[in-house]
Structure 1
Amino acid sequence: MTGGYVWPRLPAAGAGQRVGLLGGSFNPPHEGHVHISRLALARFGLDFVWWLVTPGNPLKNRGELGSLEARLEACRLVTRRMPRVRVTSVEADIGISRTRDTLRFLLARRPDLRFVWVMGADNMASFHRWHAWREIAEMVPIGVVDRPGSTLRAASSPFAARYRLARLPETRSRRLADAPPPAWAIVHGPRSDLSSSEIRRSGLWPRDRMENS
C-alpha cells in the first residue's frame, strides 16, 4: 500500500499455469457463461478461468447495467461449485474498462502466467469493433467457443480473415496457451443459447439488481 492506494488483489495462480480470461458485463451471469468456462478449461487445457466482471462495456447500453456489487455476487453464486473459476473485479479496481488496458496490466503484473483470452463465437464475429482489437490479438492467444447461430459469422469475420494463418486446428487447441500470439483456435461441442439480454427481457433478473450503484 502506497499513499492510500491498495494494489488490486488477483485470484491465486501458480507460476506457469494457464489462465483463461473471460470478460463481460455478466448482466446477469448464467449457465451459458458456465458452459463456456467448462468447455474452455477442458479444450484449451487451462488451469483456471478468471471471470473479469467489467464495470461497463462501451459497446452496450449502460442504462440496463446492474450494479457491480450485484453482478459480482451473482457470479460468485453461479460459480460456487466451480473451484477452477475465479471471479474478479480487477477492471473496476484499477479504473479501466478497455480489454487492451486490462491485458497490459495483467501481463505486467503476472508475466509468469500463460493467459488466453476466452470468448464466444458471437463476440468473435464483432471483435473488429473492439478498441485496439489488433493489438489485443497480438498480446495473448485467443480461445473461441462456438455459439448457436454464430459459426458462419465468426468464420467470415474480419478477425478470422486477418489472422487466418495464426489459427490452430481444433485438434491442437490444448496447446493454445503455449503458442506465441497472434494465435487462436475455435472449439466446438455442446452449445448453449442462453444470453443475458434474453434473461433481462424475461424478467428473471430482478429490477432492483439493475439499479446502478
Structure 2
Amino acid sequence: MSALSPPLTVYYGGTFDPIHNAHLAIAVGVRDALAAQVHLVPAADPPHRPVPGASAAQRAQMVALAIAGVPGLELDTIELRRAQRLQGQPSYTVDTLTELRQREGFSRPLAWLIGGDSLASLQQWHRWTELFELAHVIVVARPGNPLPQPLPPALRNCVRGGQWCTDAQQLRIHPQGCLYALPLPLQDGSASAVRQAVAAGLPVAGLVPAAVADYLEQQQLYRVHTG
C-alpha cells in the first residue's frame, strides 16, 4: 500500500450468534490481505420475529471478547444503536452504509464484506443498487463455489468499470463502487454447530475463542437452542 493511499475500512456484518473461530479467520484474513481495518457489525434483534439465540447486547459483548487484543479488528454497534432509536423498524444494510457515510464522510474508502452465497441473492436486498453508491463490496470467494463470470447485466450496470475489480489498490483509490473477490482458505465452523454443541453439553473449545466459551457458560446461553 502506498504511503499516500487512504486507509481502507471494511465492515463485516452478521448475526454473530455466536461469533466463532471461522468468523475471526475471515476478519483476520481480510485485514491481512487488504491492509485494512475491519469493523465487525452485529445485527440488531429482528423486530418481527423471535430474537436469535442470544440478545443483540450479548452478541455484541461476545464479539468484543473475541477480538479483544486483536490488532486491526474493532466492534461497531451502529446497527444496535439505530435499532434503539427506531424501535420496531427493520434494519437494512443500505441504511447502515448511509449512516456510516454520514459519520465518516464520502471521500474515505469503505467496503462491505459478504460471502459468495450473499452475492447470489444480492439483487433481492433492499435498495441493493445503492450499495455501490455508498461502498465497495468485497466478496469472500470459497473453493468450489465459483463466482459469476461475467457479471449478470444488472450487476454490471452498478459496479465500477462494469466488471470485477482485480486490483485491490482500486479499493483505496476510489471511495466506493468496486466489486472485489477475495479468496480466503475455507475454515470449518458455524454458529449453528456451536449452538448445537452447547445444547448437547459438548465442549466448544476449538470452535470459539476461550473468552467466548467462558461467556457462554456464565450466561447459560444456547442451553435449549439447537438452531
The normalised TM-score by structure 2 is 0.71
Shift of 1:136: 1.2
Relative CO higher for 1 or 2, CA cutoff 8 Å, sep ≥ 6? 1
Larger Rg computed on CA atoms: 2
> Are residue 110 (structure 1) and residue 122 (structure 2) matched?
no
- RMSD in angstroms over aligned alpha carbons? 3.0
In structure 2, the residue matched to 1:178 is 173
Q: Report 1:106-185 matches (<5 A).
A: 106-111=100-105, 113-147=108-142, 151-152=145-146, 154-155=147-148, 161-164=153-156, 165-169=162-166, 172-179=167-174, 181-185=176-180
> Are residue 100 (structure 1) and residue 89 (structure 2) matched?
no
What are structure 1's unaligned runs of at least 5 residues?
1-15
SS in structure 1 opposite 2:134? Answer: coil
In structure 1, the residue matched to 2:42 is 53
Shift of 1:25: 0.8
In structure 2, the residue matched to 1:83 is 71
Counterparts in 2 of 1:26 and 1:148: CA distance versus 1, 3 Å: farther
What are structure 2's unaligned runs of at least 5 residues?
1-5, 157-161, 199-203, 205-212
Shift of 1:89: 1.2
SS in structure 2 opposite 1:155? Answer: coil
Shift of 1:148: 5.2
Counterparts in 2 of 1:193 and 1:62: CA distance versus 1, 3 Å: farther
Shift of 1:210: 5.1
| Contact 1:40–1:143 (8 Å) recurs in 2 | no
| Contact 1:40–1:118 (8 Å) recurs in 2 | no
Counterparts in 2 of 1:119 and 1:208: CA distance versus 1, 3 Å: same
The normalised TM-score by structure 1 is 0.75
In structure 2, the residue matched to 1:30 is 20
**Residues in 1 aligned to 2:21 and 2:124: alpha-carbon distance in whole angstroms:** 26
Shift of 1:156: 6.8
**Residues in 1 aligned to 2:12 and 2:46: alpha-carbon distance in whole angstroms:** 13
**Residues in 2 aligned to 1:193 and 1:35: alpha-carbon distance in whole angstroms:** 10
Counterparts in 2 of 1:64 and 1:94: CA distance versus 1, 3 Å: closer
**Residues in 2 aligned to 1:42 and 1:174: alpha-carbon distance in whole angstroms:** 14
AA aligned to 1:168 is C
Equivalent of 1:73, from 40, 45, 61?
Answer: 61
Q: How many residues align?
A: 190
Identical-residue share of aligned pairs (%): 23
In structure 2, the residue matched to 1:4 is none
